[in-house]
Amino acid sequence: MGAEAGKNVTVIGAGIIGVSIAARLAEAGARVTVIDRTGICAETSSGNAAGLAFTEILPMAHKGMIRKVPGWLSDPLGPLAIPPTYFPTLLPWLYRFWRAGSLKNYERAVAAQVELMKLAESEWMSLMDASGTRSMLREDGCLELYESEAEHQASMPGWEARKRAGIAFHHLQQEEIAQYQPGLSPSFVRATFVPGWKTVTDPAELGRAVWRHAESLGAKHVPATVTSVEQIGDAYRIRFGDGTEHTASTLVIAAGAWSHRLAAMLGDRIPLEAERGYHVTLPADAFDVRRQLLFSGHGFVITPLGNALRVGGTVEFGGLDRPPNYNRSKALLRKASEFLPGLKPQGGSEWMGHRPALPDSLPVIGKGSRPGLYYAFGHGHLGLTQAAATGSLIRDLVLGQKPPIALAPFAATRF
């Protein structure tokens, strides 16, 4: 794949983004070393909601959403939570989030997401075929549910934007909902079915299978905690917690919610926040869920996995160091029991993970400010969805090839 194939590349981060980058680079003949403190897809990538949300092109800060924030914050266990002591730290990020909701910025972000999502779908199909994981794909679509006609009408601008992007969907009347998901609470009066939405049977196992593919092509995993990164001449010196070091001539930072700390060590200030998400994973027989269910008014989803049922979501801004508040996962389970009468809530496991969130809902994918430095992080709720596309884009950049989409909207310098 060109003169750059065969070069040594170090990737910090073995989540789904990092392993996808490793797989695409290893396929191209690069010698890849992946550094991660806990293991392959062992943290945030292990607990996501399993959606390949190729139709999710709207930024979080879409027009009018900012008006909902005060109401959400009034409920300590609602869709959005910000601990009072963390609010001053978050204010600059919230200001950027508010600015991202302007019409001009909104349209720019939607256009960029449309292009990235088209690439994401084709690249995932390619990577699944290469890694032998196509059997993990479920193509059942998703059902977004509304508790009032007013709530459904408020969603119309978003559906119009999807329509302009060529995304298929079908609005349902109340009497049609049971055809797509029997057993729902009668409180849901409208719904929208999106056939192009996909899920996977187990996101952690998918990530490990992609890694096995990369490993079969020579990629190596170094289990270590990175404490510092600095440029030394034409290379990067990476120090580990045990005092050892690693030198990289080409470095990719794909460490999720921790990435901005490493980028700052190399002179790049990126306004990334850790958006804490929760889930409860129940036994598969807890309820017969036919496809992913989206409760957007409450900020969570229910996903049927291969052998389990996952109730996940909510947004909590509290940084990287605050302990989990599992009252939030318990609140998710209570809502799920209300919306799915007959749900068996026993036997579940709780989890919290950090989503890397940027104010405009677009990831950073591209070159850093120094030679041989690349960034791939900030995908928010869409890390699994956009992982294969990110892997191919970083591969193209590292190997000196022209990416298939414009990367200016994803540049680290845009802030």
| pLDDT tens-digit series, residues 338-380 | 999 999 999 999 999 999 999 999 999 999 999 999 999 999 9
Once rounded to an integer, what is the mean pLDDT over residues 185-196? Answer: 97
d(CA 312, CA 333): 9
Q: What is the structure's pLDDT at 314?
A: 84
Q: What is the structure's pLDDT at 184?
A: 98
Helix (H, G, I), strand (E, B) or coil at 11: strand
Q: Which one, of 41, 38, 2, lies nearest residue 21 by Cα?
A: 41
Q: Contact at 8 Å (CB) between 323 and 254?
A: no
- 184's CB contacts (< 8 A; 6+ apart) are 145, 177, 178, 339, 340
Statement: residue 3 has pLDDT above 60: no
Q: What is the structure's pLDDT at 397?
A: 98
* pTM of the complete model: 0.95
d(CA 144, CA 328): 21
Q: Name which of 4-18, 24-38, 198-212 the model is least confident about.
A: 4-18
Q: Contact at 8 Å (CB) between 203 and 124?
A: no
| pLDDT tens-digit series, residues 279-314 | 999 999 999 999 999 998 888 999 999 999 999 988
Q: What is the structure's pLDDT at 2?
A: 46
Statement: residue 72 has pLDDT above 70: no
More confident residue, 101 or 52: 52
Q: Which one, of 270, 268, 220, 272, lies nearest residue 248 by Cα?
A: 220
Q: What is the structure's pLDDT at 101?
A: 82
Q: What is the structure's pLDDT at 77?
A: 67
Domains and CATH numbers, the chain: 1-63+101-137+197-272+358-415 (3.50.50.60)
Q: What is the CA radius of gyration of the chain?
A: 21
Statement: residue 252 has pLDDT above 50: yes
d(CA 332, CA 207): 26
Q: What are phi and psi of 254, to 5 degrees?
A: -140, 50
Residue 245, beta-bridge partner list: 239
Statement: residue 163 has pLDDT above 60: yes
| pLDDT tens-digit series, residues 48-70 | 999 999 999 999 877 556 666 66
Statement: residue 74 has pLDDT above 90: no
